[in-house]
Structures are given as C-alpha cells and as structure tokens.
Amino acid sequence: MENIENIKNPNNELFLAASQAKEKYYGKKVFFRGLIEFSNYCTNDCYYCGIRRSNKEVHRYRLNQEEILSCCAKGFELGFRTFVLQSGEDPYFTDQIMTKIIDDIRNSFPDCAITLSLGEKSYASYQNFFAAGADRYLLRHESANEEHYQKLHPPTMSLKNRKECLYNLKEIGFQVGAGLMVGSPFQTPEHLADDLMFLKELDPHMVGIGPFIPYKDTVFAGEKGGTVEATLLMIALTRILLPKSLIPATTALGTIDPRGREKGLHAGANVVMPNLSPVNVRNDYALYDNKICTGEEAAECRQCIEKRISNAGFIPDFSRGDYYLVLQ
C-alpha cells in the first residue's frame, strides 16, 4: 500500500465529496466551541503528550470552580453556547467536585451544551457527570490497532479499556467524540484503515482528527510529526464515512500550517474550538511544540477565527451545534 505520507495532493474530488456530505446535513455552518483547559495535572503517561506525568518540566496548574465558571461567563458574553472542559487525568477533580462544577454551569447557563474531556473514568463516574447535566464527552481512541496503541501508551493503559469507555459513554446517552492523531510514531496506512473501520463501527457523534506534533520533553521528542496532507485526507474520509459527524478543524492543524484550519474546513470539518482559558495558563497546557493562540485573549481568538471562517466561505454559527439527529 502506498505510504500515507506520499499522498501529497489528496485530490479535489475527495474534498468535494466530503464537503457535499457535510453540507447535506449542516450546510456551510461552522460551529464554535469554547475550550477551557482547566488542569494540566495528569496521572497518565502517554508517550506523545506534553503534560504527561513524567514531564517534570511542566508548570502544573488547576483552575478552581470560580475560575472555570468565570471562563464560561466570559464565553457566554462572547456568544459561545458550548463549553468544552478539558484536563489531564487529575484526581483532585473527584466526581463530587466535578458534578458540582457541571451542576453550576448547567444552572448558570441552561441553554449551553457542556462537553467534557477528562479521560478514562468508571461507568459510574460517567453516569454521575451525565446526571449532573453534561451533554457530550470527547475521548480520542488514539489508535484502533492494538499493537500500535501499545506503542503510544504505557502498559498500564489498554485499547480495550478505551473502547469500553467510549461504548459506555454512548450507552449512558452522551454525544460521544472519538479520534486520533495522524502521523503518530509507528503509524502505518493499515493502522489508519483500522481507525476508519473502528470509527464506522462506533459511529460517534464527533471525531477529533489532528496531526501528531512532537513535544520536546516527551518520549517522542525526536520523532517526525504528521503532515497536513495526511490529516486532510483522514478528515475527508471520516466525513464521507460518517456524514453527520461533527469534526473540528483542530488547533494542531492550525499549528503546522497557518491556513490549516481553513484547509480542514474545506476537507470536511465543521467545528472550531477557540480557547477560553485564562491567558496566564495557556502556555502551561502545552501538549506539543509551538501551539498557536496561546497569547490572545478569548475575545481576540473568537474574532480572529470568525473572520477566517467567513473569509473561507463558511458561516460562523454560535448555537449549541448538536449532532444532526439530536436536532430532529
């Protein structure tokens, strides 16, 4: 099989087919999500990740409940109606603390969607979060190939558990997001085919697809990063396989190419996730090198991305932006 990195110019027909598939359900809308990176403490040690436990160079931070709520309030003022709460796997945020935060956001912003991205938890914890008012959960599967998954993670982690979490989340009633990094170390085209087949089987509501970008203080510091071309190809194929899915044009894609997010939208993506985290902690949530948008205030980020979206011929949409079926 041709090496994925050799596909320099994924043909326009593919992008056209992906765009048509997307537009059938969502038109030219691009949905906004406000991202709040509320803690970079993590008990996990994923080999690729800048905030992994073994990285002693990271300045660790966690926002308190008041700070998280004030990020939401700022986001609400700016028009956001989805908040994405993301963190490392931080034991400080027990179910009790987390459900209190979710409950407060739910009561303060009843019309907003609450998305969580907190990693692997028990069925009971996921149930607690859902009962407290969370609507969506992002948990990338990272690789659907057993052997490859194991090369990216320490032996304490397993693909089996990750998949189980995703199916549990779905069963509980969350809109679920899976996904992967394109070009992660040891990844082959066959692995990407496994990813596509797994995505088809899981049938998630959202799929996060971004390039792998090496980070200096990780096991994979010296590895090559994923390419724009391969990432766009995976976005387009995923869109065609799962036409109703919500697919972000990721910050990682915007990091390896100044027009990366626009290119992602033309390849079938339909979501952007500007950062609402306080500027003073942005640099500490460094998953990979040269991450963009770490210096701008939330309002600047919103404006910048909104303008880029309009200029690229799409329609910025600040509604909750639920999965197509949920709207019926």
* Number of residues written out for the chain: 328
For position 162 contacting ligand FES by CB under 6 A, the verdict is: no
Q: How far apart are CA 152 and CA 137, in angstroms?
A: 22
For position 35 contacting ligand SAM by CB under 6 A, the verdict is: no
Binding partner of 140, given ligand SAM, ligand FES, none, CB within 5-8 angstroms per partner class: ligand SAM
The nearer residue to ligand FES, 22 or 153, going by C-beta atoms, is: 153
Binding partner of 70, given ligand SAM, ligand FES, none, CB within 5-8 angstroms per partner class: none
Stretch that binds ligand SAM, among 2-10, 207-215, 291-299, 305-313 (CB under 6 A): 207-215
Q: How far apart are CA 114 and CA 69, in angstroms?
A: 12
For position 4 contacting ligand SAM by CB under 6 A, the verdict is: no
The nearer residue to ligand SAM, 119 or 133, going by C-beta atoms, is: 119
The nearer residue to ligand FES, 32 or 38, going by C-beta atoms, is: 38
Stretch that binds ligand FES, among 41-49, 71-79, 130-138, 252-260 (CB under 6 A): 41-49
Binding partner of 212, given ligand FES, ligand SAM, none, CB within 5-8 angstroms per partner class: ligand SAM
Show Cβ contacts of residue 252 under 8 Å, excluding neighbours closer than 6 positions. 181, 210, 211, 212, 213, 288, 291
For position 44 contacting ligand FES by CB under 6 A, the verdict is: yes
Q: Shortest Cβ distance from residue 23 to ligand SAM (Å)?
A: 27
Site string for ligand FES, 67-96 (x = CB under 6 A): ---------------------xx-------
The alpha-helical segments, DSSP class H, found in the chain are 12-26, 65-77, 95-108, 123-132, 146-152, 159-172, 189-202, 228-241, 251-256, 260-266, 279-282, 298-311, 324-327
CB-CB neighbours of 5 under 10 Å: 14
Token pair for residue 224? 């090559």
Among 15, 48, 93, 129, binds ligand SAM (CB under 6 A): 48
Among 106, 140, 151, 282, binds ligand SAM (CB under 6 A): 140
Show Cβ contacts of residue 91 under 8 Å, excluding neighbours closer than 6 positions. 41, 43
The nearer residue to ligand SAM, 29 or 163, going by C-beta atoms, is: 163
The nearer residue to ligand FES, 44 or 294, going by C-beta atoms, is: 44
Q: How far apart are CA 152 and CA 173, in angstroms?
A: 29
Q: How buried is 14 (Cβ within 10 angstroms: 0-12 exposed, 13-18 middle, 19+ buried)?
A: middle
Q: How far apart are CA 205 and CA 322, in angstroms?
A: 9
Token pair for residue 104? 């407060």
Show Cβ contacts of residue 113 under 8 Å, excluding neighbours closer than 6 positions. 81, 82, 83, 135, 136, 320, 321, 322
CB-CB neighbours of 53 under 10 Å: 16
CA angle 210/222/163 to nearest 5° reads 40
Shortest CA distance to 254 belongs to which of 226, 221, 228?
Answer: 228
Binding partner of 52, given ligand SAM, ligand FES, none, CB within 5-8 angstroms per partner class: ligand FES
For position 281 contacting ligand FES by CB under 6 A, the verdict is: no
Binding partner of 237, given ligand FES, ligand SAM, none, CB within 5-8 angstroms per partner class: none
Stretch that binds ligand FES, among 39-47, 100-108, 194-202, 271-279 (CB under 6 A): 39-47
For position 174 contacting ligand SAM by CB under 6 A, the verdict is: no
| Binding region for ligand FES (CB under 6 A) | 42, 44, 46, 49, 51-52, 88-89
| Binding region for ligand SAM (CB under 6 A) | 48-49, 86, 88-89, 117, 119, 139-140, 142, 181, 210, 212-213, 215, 252, 287-288
